[in-house]
Amino acid sequence: MAGLETPELAHAAEAGGADLIEIGFPFSDPLADGPVIRRAAERALAQGMRTAECLENLRAIREQVAAPLIPMTYASLLEAYGWERFATNAHEAGAASLIVADLPIDAHPELRRVQLVAPTSTDERIALAAERTDGWLYLVTVAGTTGARAELSPALAPLVERTRELTGVPLYAGFGISTPEQAAAAAELADGVVVGSAALVAAEEGAGALERFVAQLRAALA
């Protein structure tokens, strides 16, 4: 989540082995996010992190790390700021792409972004998402909000199987992946994993704890 401490945390995540770093732009009503990410968004908003400040924060992070940076937020933020303006300013600040969690696949096709698909997505929607996605598809492994789960979602394997029949783009699995063991199991199916809530929990203990956590995930994927 974009915040005063995020450049240091992003540097730690990269040092731990992260291939790319998702930067949350806080939103007051994050429908897809569980309690951990909601709490992080509330802290960021309390720090004064509005859209312009998040973009400056992104620029500061870009100075600290070489890994691709992907802002993740919600459509209302872009609607208020301006769709084209946001895309331009985010790119200028160092964003490699965007994730807009609640933006339908066929809305604003001019906005290059990583598309999300879920177990409830039809084959038609998955194929359209694959056609329009920016580099890779984000596989939402569960129906519901983000957050740690005790077990890897059983919906992931059939979602990967269906999606691979429709496209050859890389598939990264996220939502609910929180341990090295779950990451390893997910990576046997998909091409990579996205870990959000568990990384934020580690980050609450400081940059060193986050680096160690990411290093454990990296080791599990080796």
Dump the DSSP string for 166-205: H--S-EEEESS--SHHHHHHHHTTSSEE---HHHHHHHTT
What the block records as the tokens of 78 is 């872009």
Alpha-carbon distance 186 to 159, whole Å?
A: 12
Spatial CA neighbour of 20 closest among 191, 220, 204: 191
**Gap between the terminal Cα atoms of the chain:** 27
Which residues are annotated as catalytic? 22, 33
Alpha-carbon distance 88 to 55, whole Å?
A: 11
Whether the Cβ atoms of residue 72 and residue 95 lie closer than 8 Å to each other:
no
Q: How many CA atoms lie within 13 A of 210 on its CB side?
A: 24
